[in-house]
Amino acid sequence: MTIFEKIIARQIPAQIVAESDEWIAFHDISAQAPVHVLIVPKRVIPRVGEAHSMDGGVLGALLIASQQVAKKLGVFETGYRLVINNGRDAGETVPHLHVHLLGGRELGWPPG
C-alpha cells in the first residue's frame, strides 16, 4: 500500500484541500512552492505511462480538479503549474499517479 493509498484510507493524516469520489487533493509535505498540492486519483494507476484508454475519465477529472483547487487556494488568476512525473529520472517517488499543482510565486522555466 503506497503512502497515497494510506492517506485516501485515512490511515495517515494529510492536510486535505478538496476531495471527490474519484480524487483527493492535499498539501505536499515537501513543498517546492508556497502552494504545492498533490491531486491523486483514488483508484491506483501506477504512473501516467501505464494509464489505459479506460483511465481517460479519471485523468480528465484530475485536470478539472486542478481548477477547483487553484481557485480555492487563490492561484487560479495569478497562475499555477501542473506537473506529472513518470519514472525515476523524472523524479517520481511514489508509484501512484499524481498531479503536482504549484503556485504562489513566479515559477522559472525550464524547471529542474
Any idea what the CATH number is for the domain that residue 97 is in? Answer: 3.30.428.10
Domain count, the chain: 1
Q: Over the range 47-58, which residues count as b (16 or more CB within 10 Å of their CB) and which as e?
A: bbeebeeeeeeb
pTM, rounded to two decimals: 0.95
Q: Over the range 60-79, which residues count as b (16 or more CB within 10 Å of their CB) and which as e?
A: ebbeebbeebbeebebeeee
Q: What is the pLDDT of residue 111?
A: 82
pLDDT string in tens for the chain (112-residue length): 999 999 999 999 999 999 999 999 999 999 999 999 999 999 999 999 999 999 999 999 999 999 999 999 999 999 999 999 999 999 999 999 999 999 999 999 988 6
Instruction: Identify whether 73 is part of a domain.
Output: yes
Instruction: Identify whether 28 is part of a domain.
Output: yes
Instruction: Identify whether 15 is part of a domain.
Output: yes
Instruction: Identify whether 109 is part of a domain.
Output: no
One of 27, 36, 96, 98 is an active-site residue; which one?
A: 98
Q: Which domain holds residue 58?
A: 3-103
Instruction: Identify whether 110 is part of a domain.
Output: no
Q: What is the pLDDT of residue 21?
A: 97
Annotation says 36 is catalytic = no
Q: What is the pLDDT of residue 1?
A: 93
